[in-house]
Structure 1
Amino acid sequence: MPGKKKRETKVKKQHQARTKWVKEWLLKRQDLTHTNLLEELRLEPDDWRNYLRMDEDSYVMLLKLVTPLIEKQDTILRPAISPHERLTATLRYLGTGRNYEDLKFSTIISPQSLGKIIPETCSAIFQVLRNDYMKFPSTEDEWLQIASDFEKRCNFVNCVGAVDGKHVNIIPPAGSGSYFYNYKGTHSLILMAVVNANLEFIMCDFGINGRISDGGVIEYSSFYKKLENGQLRLPPPTKPRNSNTSLPFVFIADEAFTLRSDFLKPFSRQDLNNEKKIFNYRLSRARCKVENAFGILSNRFRIFHTKISVNLEAIDKIVMATCILNNFFFLQRKY
């Protein structure tokens, strides 16, 4: 009738009924899984290392540590996926950057299960390794050791860390618009890190959207807030060898960051004299440590060569797991 509003009707979404509970080939995991290949690769250590990005001894150690957190009980319906299968699937995902749909054919685990297993295992890896393999310095002696390493390796005195940010490319969530869009023309989240002279991450902060510059991102980190408030327990200024001037202990970064007495960056390229050129060279030589650390991280874990297409919470767990695994490999000195 004219003038009468049409009644809105809600159409319920019809879910297609399952034709089978599970695909037949997924039931043959014990026969088809890639863990059977690992038994053969034990005879070829180089191939094992290439496959899981670590040697067998390091893998066994890591598996022992994470098993209590990722082990599941069998049910009357089906046996649980073992910690060994969960960890190898996660390491293959991190090492290759393959998506869940592709990874299911070698792991013989459904994409739906991989979507739960991989973030859970990454979280467990970070939890069991963080206290021993990413310990932020809390005493003057620990800062002095970092400064000593920088002086020996880079000829830069009183440096306690090289700082930089890395864009981690992602598939943005639906409806996010340009929120994650960065100046490089991609969508990203930023990994902010402090690295020592041994290419080890001593602090990682991840999750700020890529629209913000590195200099802006660091201001959101707890590390920078403690630096501003003088809560990092840095040693008092000391006199370097062959010098009568006391110099403070500092972090170093590139031009994108704010200059502070405890946070140095290069001189502007305009009007450089000889002394400023030497300073820039020395600072660049030390700052390369963080660039090298990011390069090693990306080449070891090819997930950084892709656009990560999982939810934001899972991305955070994945990235933090790779950072602490990077330290784990360095300190094991076996890869």
Structure 2
Amino acid sequence: MVERLTPNLKKKDTKMRFPQEVGLKLAVTLCHLASGNDYTSLQYSFRVSKSCICRLIPLVCQAIIDTYKPEVMKCPKTPEEWNDIAKRFASKWNYFSCVGALDGKHVAIKKSKGGGSLYFNYKKFHSIVLMALPDTKYRFLFVDVGAEGGVGDGGTWQKCNLAKAITNNQAGLPQDRNLPNDDEPIPFHIVANNAFATDYLALVVWRKTHSACCR
């Protein structure tokens, strides 16, 4: 990781100071992300000032996203790519025409100044929503993070880019296909809990799929 991130994080030496090593920046950031330790405890563990840690952690996080996102979190855009995912769901779970499993995670935050109840969720704490669509190997295909916790999973999904692309037929999903031993076409779809069934169309798609699978 140090080698991959060096082009984005390496700073030049100056007459006034020597920059922190990329390995140190990465170690501080990974420790913070893994343990949740605050900046005060990190400054004693790594002998780096709190003010420096405040600046470097967002930079390292952004560098990780820029470096690794294209290869580890690539959302399908063509019918062939979506169909490959559906084949893996059929092979592993015996569930057909499925292109992902969707759910939201509430990430706890401190109450924002002036935020009111926007971030106060039904679990009675302030949060932002991490909306994720993984495949059969639990790898993220799509992530939307930062929505207000008070909106909930269904509201967050309706506003994210992938939902809009599917609604506007711009996501590249394959044409409807018959299930094995059936003559009724079933749309390619995403599985989720009832928090996402926010309209009649979503319920119809789920019921058609569920009844066809039961047969």
- Could you tell me the TM-score, scaled by structure 2's length? 0.91
How many residue pairs end up in the alignment?
210
> Does the CA-based 8 Å contact 1:134-1:202 persist in structure 2?
yes
What residue is the counterpart of 2:174 in the other structure?
Answer: 235
Alignment of 1:88-167 (within 5 A): 88-167=27-106
Compared CA separation, residues 120 and 266, structure 1 to 2 (3 A): farther
Secondary structure of the structure 2 residue equivalent to 1:91: helix
Compared CA separation, residues 265 and 106, structure 1 to 2 (3 A): farther
Q: Give the number of the structure with larger relative contact order, counting CA–CA contacts within 8 Å between residues 6 or more apart.
A: 1
Structure 2 gaps, min length 5: none
Select the residue among 170, 177, 180 that pairs with 2:109: 170
Secondary structure of the structure 2 residue equivalent to 1:213: helix
What residue is the counterpart of 2:23 in the other structure?
Answer: 84
What residue is the counterpart of 1:205 in the other structure?
Answer: 144
What residue is the counterpart of 2:129 in the other structure?
Answer: 190
Per-residue CA deviations over 1:130-183 (Å, capped at 9, x if unaligned) read 111111101111111100111112111000011111101001222323221111
| Rounded Cα–Cα distance in structure 2 between residues aligned with 1:134 and 1:151 | 22
Q: CA deviation at 1:128?
A: 0.8
Compared CA separation, residues 264 and 63, structure 1 to 2 (3 A): farther
| Rounded Cα–Cα distance in structure 1 between residues aligned with 2:202 and 2:112 | 40
Secondary structure of the structure 2 residue equivalent to 1:203: strand
Secondary structure of the structure 1 residue equivalent to 2:150: coil
Structure 1 gaps, min length 5: 1-61, 268-274, 280-335
Compared CA separation, residues 263 and 222, structure 1 to 2 (3 A): farther
- Structure 1 letter corresponding to 2:162: F
Structure with max Cα Rg: 1
Alignment of 1:258-297 (within 5 A): 258=198, 260=201, 264-265=205-206
- Structure 1 letter corresponding to 2:111: P
- Could you tell me the TM-score, scaled by structure 1's length? 0.59
Alignment of 1:52-71 (within 5 A): 62-71=1-10
Compared CA separation, residues 78 and 263, structure 1 to 2 (3 A): farther
| Rounded Cα–Cα distance in structure 2 between residues aligned with 1:202 and 1:262 | 24
Q: CA deviation at 1:248?
A: 1.5
Q: CA deviation at 1:245?
A: 2.5
| Rounded Cα–Cα distance in structure 2 between residues aligned with 1:234 and 1:262 | 19
1:252 aligns with 2:172: no
> Does the CA-based 8 Å contact 1:252-1:264 persist in structure 2?
no
| Rounded Cα–Cα distance in structure 1 between residues aligned with 2:161 and 2:204 | 15
| Rounded Cα–Cα distance in structure 2 between residues aligned with 1:158 and 1:227 | 15
- Structure 2 letter corresponding to 1:196: D
Compared CA separation, residues 140 and 117, structure 1 to 2 (3 A): same
Q: Report which stretch shifted further, 128-137 or 72-81.
A: 72-81
What residue is the counterpart of 1:39 in the other structure?
Answer: none
When the two chains are superposed, the root-mean-square deviation of aligned CA atoms in Å is 2.0
Compared CA separation, residues 263 and 216, structure 1 to 2 (3 A): farther
Bigger fraction of residues in strand: 2
| Rounded Cα–Cα distance in structure 1 between residues aligned with 2:147 and 2:130 | 8
| Rounded Cα–Cα distance in structure 2 between residues aligned with 1:264 and 1:99 | 46
- Structure 2 letter corresponding to 1:102: S
> Does the CA-based 8 Å contact 2:92-2:136 persist in structure 1?
yes
Q: CA deviation at 1:98?
A: 0.4
